Amino acid sequence: MKQSVVRLIGAAIILAAPLAGAAANDAYPHKPIALQLGFPPGQATDTVARMLAERAAARLGQPVIVENKPGQGGSVLLSSFVRQAPDGYTLTIAATGAAVTNHFLYKTVNYKTPDDFTPVGLVADLPLVLVARPGMPFKDVAGLVAYARQHPGKLNYASPGTGTSSNLAMETLKHQNGLRIEHIPYQGSARAMTDLLAGQVDIAFDTVPAVQAFVSSGKLKALAIGSEDRLKLFPDVPTMKESGFGTVPAHVWIGFLLPKGAQPAVVEKLNSVFNAVLQEKEVTEKLENLGVVAHTTTPQGFEAMLREELPRWGAIVKDAGLQPQ
């Protein structure tokens, strides 16, 4: 009799286990989600992340709290992020630099993309704008290149940090054209723009949200933009391709990652929610006004993209003559 009872209890537990798992997945999320960013407040990634977090929170029924943890172009954050619990309550938006290019620039990077993460989905592309302070005696990329050749070592440029796409775009432009321009790295775009406006640095590649107000007001001049086509925001600014420098990788993508081992149901739910947010008319219009090109992908599609990006950016870093530090 006792053996029969034990067998019945065991069978009940086995049958109940999948139901309990399903119920747990259906209940997700039951507490706030931390959205960690490897960039300081005010940067383009931060602006986009906060917009998406607010909209996603309404759909998820739980707050999505943005936490800024800048350093090394986002790699400091990802180094700690891989040790977080893969329960869906710690999420990040990673950019090209931290997720891919820093593998080739820093010997200290202790994670491997995408194997140490669970890809959730691509978010957007952010074209970079090449800007100069008004006092510079050139108005386009060809003029910049000619001036830099005539005055080697005289110019300097700002970037949001070593290993960022802004840094790589300028290093590629330098390498392809034999230029000597000093790199001045900052912790984020805001500080870089402050010194550019003050005349402490001469030029920079940065995102549309970082430079838009300054270009529109005439405080900075835009030489070219890294988008496929001209943007409505800057109809008079030519693309890098139009300018004759189309091989310079002047753009950055951003995408959602979870720690490795996240449950498929959690990944699919987050992917579905954020894809829905990215297709909201108001969000699409706001992103367009920021010069941001939104994307929706499956988790599998984003993972495949990451695997393709690694060798591509590895070649870009090599061609730019950069060595890992």
Question: Using CB atoms within 10 A of its CB, is residue 124 exposed (0-12), middle (13-18) or buried (19+)?
Answer: buried
Question: For all residues of the chain together, what is the average pLDDT?
Answer: 90
Structure tokens at 239: 């693309």
Distances in Å between the alpha carbon of 104 and those of 166, 215, 313, 322?
Answer: 16, 33, 8, 9
Residue whose tokens read 């090599």: 318
Distances in Å between the alpha carbon of 102 and those of 55, 111, 143, 316?
Answer: 30, 10, 31, 12
Helices (H), the chain: 2-27, 44-60, 75-81, 96-99, 141-150, 165-177, 189-197, 208-216, 264-278, 281-289, 299-319
Q: In this structure, what DSSP letter does residue 243 have? A: T
Go through 149-158 and write b for each residue having 16 or more CB atoms within 10 A of its CB, e for each that does not: eeeeeebebb
- Orientation of helix 141-150 relative to helix 165-177, angle to 10°: 60
Q: Yes or no: say if 160 and 186 are a contact pair by the CB < 8 Å rule.
A: yes
| Closest to 166 (Cα-Cα) out of 199, 140, 135, 191 | 191
Interval 256-294: pLDDT, tens: 999 999 999 999 999 999 999 999 999 999 999 888 989
| Closest to 47 (Cα-Cα) out of 297, 298, 290 | 290
The residue extents of the domains of the chain are 32-124+251-318, 125-241
Q: Which CATH superfamily is domain 32-124+251-318 in?
A: Bordetella uptake gene, domain 1 (3.40.190.150)
Give φ, ψ of 165 to 5 degrees: -65, -30
Distances in Å between the alpha carbon of 95 and those of 40, 123, 125, 136, 252?
Answer: 13, 10, 10, 30, 7
* Domains 32-124+251-318 and 125-241 are alike in CATH topology: yes
pLDDT in tens, the chain (325 residues): 444 444 444 444 444 444 444 444 568 999 999 999 998 888 888 999 999 999 999 999 999 999 999 887 788 999 999 999 999 999 999 999 999 999 999 898 999 999 999 999 999 999 999 999 999 999 999 999 999 999 999 999 999 888 888 999 999 999 999 999 999 999 888 899 999 999 999 999 999 989 999 999 999 999 999 998 999 899 999 999 999 999 999 999 999 999 999 999 999 999 999 999 999 999 999 999 888 989 999 999 999 999 999 999 999 898 888 888 8
- 125-241 carries CATH number 3.40.190.10: yes
